[in-house]
Amino acid sequence: MPASSLAADLVSWFHQTGRVYPWRQTRDPYAILVSEVMLQQTQISTVLGRGYYARWLLRFPDFATLAAASESDILTAWEGLGYYRRARNLQKLAQVVMAEHAGIFPQEPAAILALPGIGPYTAGAISSFAFGLNEPIVDGNVARVLSRLDNDATPIDSTAGSKRLWERATELVRATDDPRALNSALMELGQTICKPALPQCPDCPVKKHCHAIDPSGLPVKSNKTQITEVTERVIFLQTPQGVLLEQETGARRTGLWKLPALPEDAEPTPPLLLKTTYGITRYKVTLWVHEAPPNQMHEWPASHRLIPHAELATTAMPSPYRRALEKLLKNSLFRLES
């Protein structure tokens, strides 16, 4: 069947059953951009259910507000979503839009792609969702749907696989006069019916177009992510003046505050106060929180600072450390103030 027939069936299905999300109720490129950036590596249930999207737009309603915001405010608003580079890149983009585009988001796909932090998927999403342009998108859901429709076992993380997916997505979006609905349909189909482990093939609105012989075996990936176990040992020190925290300088969480690392020369190892685990990308981290060694009571590096209890709630920190700190303070002499 021609691409136009598949595209028409996808669009028809989406108009009948498509889920209602706030970013689908607007053509504002800023609001759509925020949703796309938040949804990178984060589930819709988190972005919406925990109020991140609504709070962000309330605090930073447009490019001008975001461009002028302090990094501390941005990181605090983003806290809990992880991958903080996304928030920084979002502000850099806002600053470029203000400085180089007079505050108006460009409409040309090439100009959108040239903005900092924008890749082919995000450029296609904004082009189609905000401006109604026939530009393709390929994310994990779309890759799975297209691989199954074409019974294509080419690894999707290979150069050849990526090329074929983008060509197929382009063919489909160029075959419709409603690219916004077509791209939304491809994603929605992957989210709700063409699922990774248990595809619901009998309920698929485009099953007559599907050539998959073993849907659950597609898509194919050449590289599987290996989980690495990591240990972090930190200290907890508080005084009437506040809690000692360390500002991170690594590429992943620069600028955020955390419980300070346990000094390598701490002998013997101080008593354990709390042990917890968390996951991030391909790492499973075990976090050990110890009492502060006696020599840490009055001497610490420039990267460390006593944060007053009243400021802890508004101090940007990674959510695993926030949770650990709240547990530690719950039974301590001083309390975390909201």
DSSP string, 274-326: EEEEEEETTEEEEEEEEEPPGGGTT---TTEEEEPGGGGGGS---HHHHHHHH
Q: How many other C-beta atoms can be found within 10 angstroms of the C-beta atom of residue 280?
A: 15
How far apart (Å, rounded) are the C-alpha atoms in residues 311 and 336? 9
For the chain, the farthest-separated pair of C-alpha atoms sits apart, in whole angstroms, at 75
Of the candidates 248, 215, 254, the one whose C-alpha atom is nearest the C-alpha of residue 232 is 248
Cα distances (angstroms) measured from residue 141 to each of 53, 127, 148, 209, 307: 21, 19, 11, 17, 43
Whether 151 and 212 have beta carbons less than 8 Å apart is answered as yes
- Our CA angle for 161, 214, 149, nearest 5°, is 50
Whether 204 and 210 have beta carbons less than 8 Å apart is answered as yes
How far apart (Å, rounded) are the C-alpha atoms in residues 71 and 213? 50
DSSP string, 10-68: HHHHHHHH----GGGS---HHHHHHHHHHTTTS-HHHHHHTSHHHHHHHHS-SHHHHHH
Among residues 36, 135, 188, 248, which one is catalytic? Answer: 36
Active site residue 108: no
Q: How many other C-beta atoms can be found within 10 angstroms of the C-beta atom of residue 270?
A: 19
Whether 314 and 254 have beta carbons less than 8 Å apart is answered as no
Q: Which residues are catalytic?
A: 36
